[in-house]
Chain A
Amino acid sequence: DTAVSQTPKYLVTQMGNDKSIKCEQNLGHDTMYWYKQDSKKFLKIMFSYNNKELIINETVPNRFSPKSPDKAHLNLHINSLELGDSAVYFCASSQVQGDEKLFFGSGTQLSVL
């Protein structure tokens, strides 16, 4: 009965590889997000989707490509991984756009070697 679930929890990979993180929410929320949290705990928005449409696209390298097949799912694909991509990536959802009471997934710890 997990509200926002993301997989995998841990991802260890080599530089240059391509990887994906999946996220699903069963809360019936309209808006989903990807956040990146660096080693200093600084949490920064990457993307926001409202009902499958891209709303926020921060200054993120175009190696990062989100995809939302429906409003309950938001996946993140990362091409040509770099050392600096190592971080914890959180998926989140909120009931409607502009309502920033976020429900976070458990996070994906990405380590690029």
Chain B
Amino acid sequence: QKEVEQNSGPLSVPEGAIASLNCTYSDRGSQSFFWYRQYSGKSPELIMFIYSNGDKEDGRFTAQLNKASQYVSLLIRDSQPSDSATYLCAVQGGKLIFGQGTELSVKP
């Protein structure tokens, strides 16, 4: 059973801090990795994707991938209360498999 695992949280960080969200996956053949953000009662929204080992930065977001360790993470710098949401890690091997999500709460 191919799996994607995340800590469900909630992860609570103060405003302005760095939020670190982690995800591990079991399928070594996975090629593409995604982070979706889902506000309460809303649909998931793609915020980052990464294909190669290393870091990928987009504004306040950095995705990090380590295929050897089967680990992908999302860093949110200068966290804002508007970043409070559930963050879903998704990994694509033959199909896209989602983790259960990490709930992030950014306190003013």
Contact = CB atoms under 8 A, between A and B. Distances in A.
Interface of A: 40-45, 48, 56, 90, 100-107
Contacts of A48: 95
Contact of A104 (B43, B100, B101): B43
B17 interface: no
Interface stretch (B44-52, B54-62, B68-76): B44-52
Nearest to A6: B43
Interface string B67-108: 000000000000000000010101010011010110000000
The 8 closest A-B CB pairs, nearest first, are A104-B43, A43-B98, A100-B96, A41-B101, A100-B92, A42-B100, A104-B44, A107-B43
B45 A104 contact: yes
A41 B101 CA distance: 7
Interface residues of B, number: 19
B76 to A, nearest CB: 19
B86 A56 contact: no
Contacts of B36: 102
Nearest to B92: A100
A41 B95 contact: no
Interface in B26-56: 32, 34, 36, 38, 42-46, 49
